Amino acid sequence: MIAMGAMDSMFKDFKLIAGRPVYIQVQDYMKHLIIKSALQGGQKLPSTRELSTLLKVSRNSIIAAYAGLEDDGFAYAVPGQGNFVAMTTPGSVTVASRPMNWQDHLSGHARLAEELDLMKRGIRAEKGTISFTSIAPDESLFDLDNVKRAFMDRMAVEGNVLLNYGYAKGYKPLMDYLRLYLEHKGVDMKGKDMLITNGFTEGLDLVLSALDHRHGSVLCENPTHHTAIKNLKLHGFGITGITMERDGIHLGELEQALAEGEYDCAYFVPSYHNPTGIVMSPEKRQGLMKLMAGYDIPVIEDGFNEELRYSGSHVSPLIATAGAGNSVIYLGSFSKVLFPGLRVGWVVADEELIYYLESLKRARTIHTSTLDQSILYQYLHNGNLEKYLKKARAEYKRKYELTLACCKEFLPYTALSGDGGLHLFVAFAEGFKTRELLEACRAQGVIFTPGDQFYTDGGGQHTMRLGFSRVRDAEIRKGIQIIGRAATRQLMG
Amino acid sequence: MIAMGAMDSMFKDFKLIAGRPVYIQVQDYMKHLIIKSALQGGQKLPSTRELSTLLKVSRNSIIAAYAGLEDDGFAYAVPGQGNFVAMTTPGSVTVASRPMNWQDHLSGHARLAEELDLMKRGIRAEKGTISFTSIAPDESLFDLDNVKRAFMDRMAVEGNVLLNYGYAKGYKPLMDYLRLYLEHKGVDMKGKDMLITNGFTEGLDLVLSALDHRHGSVLCENPTHHTAIKNLKLHGFGITGITMERDGIHLGELEQALAEGEYDCAYFVPSYHNPTGIVMSPEKRQGLMKLMAGYDIPVIEDGFNEELRYSGSHVSPLIATAGAGNSVIYLGSFSKVLFPGLRVGWVVADEELIYYLESLKRARTIHTSTLDQSILYQYLHNGNLEKYLKKARAEYKRKYELTLACCKEFLPYTALSGDGGLHLFVAFAEGFKTRELLEACRAQGVIFTPGDQFYTDGGGQHTMRLGFSRVRDAEIRKGIQIIGRAATRQLMG
């Protein structure tokens, strides 16, 4: 039994927080004291009346807390005598062992993943920094009420179903919706099927796992999406990058590469190409697919942000351009368009490939969050995408034009690309180092993404990507002005 | 211009559904007609007034639909003349190509994933079948109102944050909660860290990717969780299975295997071992960890369903038993305990390993659904787990006792195990074939899981797993009676 004075000081740091049952808070607190050995095995606990006074909570809460402690093996009751700390509490009996040196147990794959992890090599920005590194959506545009309504609507329809196991392929109402959505983009869904994934990234990872590696080589645009470069490398592929022109990939260079090499697949980003922001022209899409039709090479199409296109005229994705052809694997997602936090993407491809991808998906993550899928479905069904896109396109277009104007006014660039979307790509004179520019700008509170990380061949050291989606108007102007001054100084010096 | 008569028949299959804006439904419908070439390029569309009459929707809806069709490139307006179908509509220009034979492009890994995919080799049950194959939770226990409240609470606090990108490691409030939760289980978190994953399965997959494969060999219980067997094989590991005794793994056999072989890791399921339902005794846990302490072998602990234990006395997970030791990788999940639809699991291990796992996770799926994580966090914070567990344990215990009693009454078994949880494991005499039993039972509308798929060495053909969590009381009795009669007939015949 502890003296009341000792207990006074022992229990005085207990603080109630809102929204969590009081008895659970008491229980947590007592467990903490027991684990830290502030209360020891065999020691008598304060009576429920005493503890109620000490912690200033109701005696019922203490009674419930003591019952919980007993259930969890932290305490025991002796009838007529009170409650005692258990002699052997969780964690009190342990086995001594030599510490393991984890470096001895890591795979080369894990080391490579860490080495290629840009988030671990990235630029740390202090608070208040103007950051052009993100191309995530502007969360102030989010229509939270529609998301809440979608959740409540769907929970009312089939809450029990949503919270239990779903199917590896995906949540059927969402797949039905997306099938129609893709048909409206001109995709011939006959003989094709769909797999829902945890966003674009899982889709790409599964597809790269499913493809044969006999040539160990992949074709893509140069520069291209850095996550794709990382995952291609992690899957052991060598990368042949094809130069980008103002309207998309250089077809002549592609033709030559196709004639000279052997490839397991090709990866293209026809809409809002990352990092250049270029939308491949309809003519080039036709040309590209005509060229690829002569080769037996699967084409992975990254549908990145095609929904954000501002212009009225329709541009078909490659998978639509391919018509009844079955060589294109389309990776779609609304992540950047709607809500990245909902991890939902989809793969559309020949039904035979999807059949194998389904098994891979099941082995990796069983299935994609049904809640995420069902909220997305209901949000789409309720007609919110159309309304949201109207608002988002207008806002991003405004920001795009502002960013473009600021670049033209302040930056000593040699080339500038970006047909809209969420970012622009800037090239300075050959020999210019944007990593040096970044150092100078960071010291003045402005950061951006150096372009070299998007290149497949170590090039692009004179380039940078400016993501404007999450930067406020005044800061776009101020930030680009600072970059411009630093770049001019660097060019002169 | 189409004659009104033709239009009449053309538009008569339009049907409004509830909950989706009318103009979007009109737009969808018109796109469908255009894509199917029922309306052709250059053709004049009905006037807004005509279509309003034909489809019986407001003229404003038609006006909005036509504007949407124009935005999406399906139609164009000629001032003073009306609306026309676009000459080149999405999908109307396509490239011809030879069909691709996907069998020529699949990796061995994809083929193996398909081959090991039990869902593709599984027993198809007709509606009305009494199925003992599932060990998913009984969804009628779900406290949907608390889940809804958790969602609304969290959305109110930081809806914008939840819907934008999160962190690869996980959602911080959830990780803080789980850290405390694990400390209360006796886990020494010093020097350890956590990664949130898309359920247990992703956690296991990432860990197996991160571990060195120099010996190409893994130790585990025999039988063991079939998903683990699948994923170990997919990662190229050979499997050494150790016999199960009534209180857990056979330590003598394990000792011998450790002395004779070299292993990259060990995988154990100490609580509600799948498929035997055995809870490893505290003494055996100590013995196991003492034995493992003599070897430099990472231990993967599958925390499967330890929350469901009915008994009051505490059993520490292996990672707690290991104390300050850093060799255990703990894979946790509330999937089976709470809601499998929320794809949230966690890996707790040495912080150095987690550092690499974080990069692997980012490369595979970027991060786990923030919404799932935040709902789970708020649900836990609100104190719902404790209340839910009380209800769920009582209900599963009742069903467990019923199933046990029925097995004892009806089945000609030779061994029966399962200390609670969601399933029992039954062995018949050596030489008995439960796959033959399954065929006989299926014909009578009862199915179960044949035990051989849990064995690492092709054994267990005389065993079966009975999952009772989702079977109603009357059907538990009826189903086991049918299995018992069929088994008796098979034994005699």
B322-338 tens-digit pLDDT: 999 999 999 999 888 88
Closest residue in A to B350 (Cα–Cα): A102
pLDDT confidence tier of residue B309, bands split at 50, 70 and 90: confident
Give the type of residue at A448.
F
At B486, list the tokens: 């069929």
Q: Is the per-residue pLDDT at B1 higher than 50?
A: no
Please answer whether residues A27 and A67 qualify as being in contact, where contact means their C-beta atoms are separated by less than 8 angstroms: no
Q: Which CATH superfamily is domain A112-137+388-492 in?
A: Aspartate Aminotransferase, domain 1 (3.90.1150.10)
Residues 6+ apart with CB under 8 A from B390: none
Q: Higher-confidence residue: B306 or A174? A: A174
Please answer whether residues A424 and A403 qualify as being in contact, where contact means their C-beta atoms are separated by less than 8 angstroms: yes
Q: Mark yes or no for CB contact A100/B325 under 8 Å.
A: yes
Signed CA dihedral, A45, A49, A51, A52: sign only: positive
Q: Which CATH superfamily is domain B118-140+390-492 in?
A: Aspartate Aminotransferase, domain 1 (3.90.1150.10)
pLDDT value of residue A8: 64
How far apart CA B151 and CA B143 sit, in angstroms, is 13
Give the side-chain half-sphere CA count within 13 A for B120: 18
Partner residue facing B102 (CB), from A98, A144, A353: A353
At A31, list the tokens: 């467990």
Could you list the beta-strand ranges (E) of B274-353.
299-302, 328-333, 345-350
pLDDT value of residue A314: 65
Say what angle helices B370-381 and B144-163 make with each other, to 10 degrees.
130
State the alpha helices, DSSP H only, in B251-383. Answer: 251-260, 282-292, 318-321, 351-365, 370-381
Question: What is the residue whose two structure tokens read 């190229």?
Answer: B236
Please answer whether residues B329 and B353 qualify as being in contact, where contact means their C-beta atoms are separated by less than 8 angstroms: yes
∠ Cα A471 A476 A477 (to 5°): 160
User: Which site among A94, A301, A376 would you substitute to test the B interface, given the most B Cβ atoms closer than 10 Å to its Cβ?
Assistant: A94
If DSSP codes are grouped into helix, strand and coil, which group holds residue B334?
Answer: coil
Mean of the per-residue pLDDT values for chain B? 93
CATH code for residues B4-85? 1.10.10.10
Whether the bond between A275 and the residue before it is cis, its omega within 30 degrees of 0, is: yes
Using one digit for the tens of pLDDT, what is the confidence trace for B449-468?
Answer: 999 999 999 999 999 999 99
pLDDT confidence tier of residue A311, bands split at 50, 70 and 90: low
Please answer whether residues B427 and B462 qualify as being in contact, where contact means their C-beta atoms are separated by less than 8 angstroms: yes
Closest residue in B to A154 (Cα–Cα): B148
Question: What is the residue whose two structure tokens read 């279509």?
Answer: B51
pLDDT value of residue B97: 78
Closest residue in B to A191 (Cα–Cα): B99
Closest residue in A to B28 (Cα–Cα): A184
Report the DSSP beta bridge partners of residue A222.
A243
Q: Is the per-residue pLDDT at B188 higher than 60?
A: yes
Tell me the nearest-neighbour CA distance from A391 into chain B, angstroms.
14
Query: What are the angstrom distances between the C-alpha of B289 and each of A170, B275, B302, B354?
Result: 40, 22, 15, 21
Rg of chain A over Cα atoms, rounded to whole angstroms, equals: 29
Query: What are the angstrom distances between the C-alpha of A56 and each of A17, A27, A173?
Result: 13, 14, 51
Using one digit for the tens of pLDDT, what is the confidence trace for A202-249?
Answer: 999 999 999 999 999 999 999 999 999 999 999 999 999 999 999 999
* In chain B, where the domains are located: 4-85, 118-140+390-492, 142-382
Q: Mark yes or no for CB contact B325/A356 under 8 Å.
A: no
Whether the bond between B79 and the residue before it is cis, its omega within 30 degrees of 0, is: no
Q: Mark yes or no for CB contact B356/A325 under 8 Å.
A: no
Q: Is the per-residue pLDDT at A340 higher than 80?
A: yes
Question: What is the DSSP track for B54-95?
Answer: HHTS-HHHHHHHHHHHHHTTSEEEETTTEEEE-SS-TTSS--
Query: What residues in A contact B187, CB-CB < 8 Å?
Result: 91
Question: What is the residue whose two structure tokens read 């690499």?
Answer: B356
Question: What is the residue whose two structure tokens read 């999937």?
Answer: B335
Query: What are the angstrom distances between the C-alpha of B247 and each of A308, B407, B428, B456?
Result: 59, 20, 19, 19
Q: What are phi and psi of B471, to 5 degrees?
A: -105, 135
pLDDT value of residue B8: 64
Q: Mark yes or no for CB contact B290/A95 under 8 Å.
A: yes
Q: What are phi and psi of B361, to 5 degrees?
A: -60, -45
How far apart CA B356 and CA A19 sit, in angstroms, is 36
Q: Is the per-residue pLDDT at B67 higher than 80?
A: yes
Q: Mark yes or no for CB contact B165/A341 under 8 Å.
A: yes
∠ Cα A222 A260 B110 (to 5°): 75
Tell me the nearest-neighbour CA distance from A486 into chain B, angstroms.
31
Q: Higher-confidence residue: B94 or B373? A: B373
Please give the average per-residue pLDDT across A161-168, as a whole number.
92
Tell me the nearest-neighbour CA distance from B184 into chain A, angstroms.
6
Residues 6+ apart with CB under 8 A from A259: none
Query: What residues in B contact A353, CB-CB < 8 Å?
Result: 102, 105-106
Q: Could you say which of 3.40.50.20, 3.30.70.1290, 3.40.640.10, 3.10.580.10 is the CATH number of the domain covering B142-382?
A: 3.40.640.10
Residues 6+ apart with CB under 8 A from B405: none
Using one digit for the tens of pLDDT, what is the confidence trace for A39-48?
Answer: 989 999 999 9
Lowest mean pLDDT among A11-15, A239-243, B138-142, B335-339: B335-339
Supply the ipTM of this predicted assembly: 0.95
Q: What is the separation, in whole angstroms, between the first and last Cα of chain A? A: 77
Taking the C-alpha atoms of B16, B17, B23 and B29 in order, what is their torsion angle to the nearest 10 degrees? -70
Q: How far is CA A345 from the centre of its chain?
A: 11
How far apart CA A182 and CA B38 sit, in angstroms, is 18
Question: What is the DSSP track for A229-262?
Answer: HHHHHHTT-EEEEEEEETTEE-HHHHHHHHHH--
Q: Mark yes or no for CB contact B109/A210 under 8 Å.
A: yes
Please answer whether residues A381 and B24 qualify as being in contact, where contact means their C-beta atoms are separated by less than 8 angstroms: no
Tell me the nearest-neighbour CA distance from A429 into chain B, angstroms.
33
Q: What are phi and psi of B126, to 5 degrees?
A: -75, 160
Q: Mark yes or no for CB contact B359/A114 under 8 Å.
A: yes
